[in-house]
Structure 1
Amino acid sequence: MQIHPTIDGLRAALAANPNARVALVPTMGNLHDGHISLMRQAREHADVVVASIFINRLQFGPNEDFDKYPRTFEADCARLEEAGVDHLFAPLEAEMYPTPQHYHVEPNPAHTDMLDGAARPGHFRGMATVVLKLFNIVRPQVAVFGKKDYQQLMIISNMVNEFALPIEIIRGETCRADDGLALSSRNGYLSAEERVEAPRLQRQLRRIRERIAAGERDRLRLETEAVAELAAHGWQPDYVSIRRRSDLQVPAAHDDSPLVVLAAARLGKTRLIDNLEI
């Protein structure tokens, strides 16, 4: 695996194989098995796999964990090499933002001013900006993103469509621990007691999916019950919400569109997110 700290270095390496189909898997490092599954999925769709590790300051709010975000570069490199990644783009902040970033991607407010966007103002603006920049740097034909960040995936897919970018977006399934907890870099913040409690979030989503499959139509009641159950066990829920998969809007009463149930909640100091397609 070649490691490139500069844009010019990465582009020169990719130019040596101009006919190759390139897949990009963007990350912020602190890799887990979920990330590695995306790398392997990328290999199924491309000749050359490029991973990136860049902790993007633009998508962190002023009171969020940018400075504390785990940085495990050497271990990450070992995992990527073992997974067969060809190139790692690992720029310093000065390489990605040599001058202040005055130009930004502004996603549709209808897609950002809700769910995670309501809890993290400006997050998706910063995320979309850095993803577009990575697309321009790497120029992949394929990019792989996990379904765990469902709202992020929707926004990226819409950005690619509306800018007519020649990139196929591959949707990676969420990887889970044996007890159902969605793998996340932030799981490392959980105490031992919190880690035992954490799968409750996924169990509530599974319960909602089962109730809807059994014919339940009162979505507000299902959401309210799940929030109350989490709060009763020490969580601070941001939302539990049943939405249309296509645009994450609230479904109308007789809307038969495919659905997804999404949730975000704090357990102690750790904010966890998850979702299940219905």
Structure 2
Amino acid sequence: MKVFSKKNDLKDCLLAYKSNNKTIGFVPTMGALHRGHLSLIKKAQQKNDIVVVSLFVNPTQFDNAEDLAKYPKTLAKDIDMLRSVHCDILFTPSVEEIYENNITSENFNFDGIEHQMEGKFRKGHFNGVGTIVKALFEIVAPHKAYFGQKDFQQLQVIKKMVKKHGLQVKVKGCPIYREQDGLAMSSRNVRLSKEQRIAAPLIYKVLQEVGRKFNTQSVLEVTEWVDNQFKNHTSLRLEYFTIANEKSLESIKIKDSRKKHRAFIAVFADEIRLIDNLHLNNL
């Protein structure tokens, strides 16, 4: 595996591959890798000649300085994991390499989807996401890029950004990778206490039950039921739950069999924030 920390060195390496008509797959990460990340890399390997993984904790997408400071950093372990799946190239730039002397976000217009759900609770988050992904796409210039659907809203934002800026990359969403007990894999899971880790699978169990109830109950009834599951929970606190149109990401009040819907949830275990989502079958 080749490792680069400077963007120009990486560009030179990738140019040689592209000159030989090699296709480039790209998996951007913030490190603290887990099997979900490896599943994205394996998807990329199936469809591309060369796979690039970036490892960069992006400061501009954190609205909470404490969350940024506590974000897990496990570089040595990450490198071992990448070698175990025969990753071709790792890009580990510094903050200065990406942002130089201007650690700020661009301002994007994502046609309103950035103001839903995560956007309501994490000010400036999607401007930060758009800024770093656009920068990485311009450096790597991949043919395809792979993202997990756990961050479904982020995935839609990135697709919108690619379209609006005319970037020549196909963005691929991949299924959520889960632990055996259903908890969506996340780098933040390692911060959970033993009690919190035991409690956390409730999030997916609630979503599964939402999937069943959605066919027979109203949106309001389902939402009230979810609220009640967390109302007096000792380890988990519900930040939001909503059922939204998959395309616009706007919350719905009335079901429409002609549209696709998805349930979204954010839950706190103390200060650790966990998110998940589930596609809801049409009626």
Q: Same fold (TM over 0.5)?
A: yes
Q: Is contact 1:107–1:155 with CA below 8 Å preserved after alignment?
A: no
Aligned residues: 276
The alpha-carbon deviation at position 57 of structure 1 amounts to 0.4
The separation in 2 between residues aligned to 1:82 and 1:202, in whole angstroms, is 29
The alpha-carbon deviation at position 240 of structure 1 amounts to 0.8
- 1:75-114 residue pairs with structure 2 within 5 A? 75-101=77-103, 104-108=106-110, 110-114=112-116
The separation in 2 between residues aligned to 1:41 and 1:63, in whole angstroms, is 33
User: In the alignment, what sits opposite 1:15?
Assistant: 15
The separation in 1 between residues aligned to 2:42 and 2:118, in whole angstroms, is 28
User: In the alignment, what sits opposite 1:148?
Assistant: 150
The alpha-carbon deviation at position 252 of structure 1 amounts to 6.1
Spell out structure 1 runs of 4+ moving beyond 6 A.
none
The alpha-carbon deviation at position 94 of structure 1 amounts to 1.0
Task: Please tell me the residue identity of whatever aligns with 1:143.
Answer: A
User: In the alignment, what sits opposite 2:220?
Assistant: 220
User: In the alignment, what sits opposite 1:35?
Assistant: 37
Listed as ranges, the gaps of 5+ residues in structure 2 are none
The alpha-carbon deviation at position 63 of structure 1 amounts to 4.1
Task: Please tell me the residue identity of whatever aligns with 2:247.
Answer: S
The alpha-carbon deviation at position 101 of structure 1 amounts to 4.4
Listed as ranges, the gaps of 5+ residues in structure 1 are none
Q: Compute the TM-score of the two structures, normalised by the length of structure 1.
A: 0.95
Q: Is contact 1:180–1:202 with CA below 8 Å preserved after alignment?
A: yes
Which of 99-108 and 234-243 deviates more?
99-108
User: In the alignment, what sits opposite 1:230?
Assistant: 230
Cα distance change, pair 93–225 in 1 and its aligned pair in 2 (3 A): same
Q: Is contact 1:33–1:175 with CA below 8 Å preserved after alignment?
A: yes
Cα distance change, pair 209–131 in 1 and its aligned pair in 2 (3 A): same
| Other structure's SS at 1:271 match | strand
Which of 17-26 and 144-153 deviates more?
17-26
The separation in 1 between residues aligned to 2:96 and 2:251, in whole angstroms, is 41
Task: Please tell me the residue identity of whatever aligns with 2:8.
Answer: D
| Other structure's SS at 2:112 match | helix
Q: Compute the TM-score of the two structures, normalised by the length of structure 2.
A: 0.93
Task: Please tell me the residue identity of whatever aligns with 2:246.
Answer: R
User: In the alignment, what sits opposite 1:205?
Assistant: 207
The separation in 1 between residues aligned to 2:127 and 2:231, in whole angstroms, is 30
Alignment RMSD, CA only? 1.4
The alpha-carbon deviation at position 228 of structure 1 amounts to 2.1
Q: Is contact 1:107–1:128 with CA below 8 Å preserved after alignment?
A: no
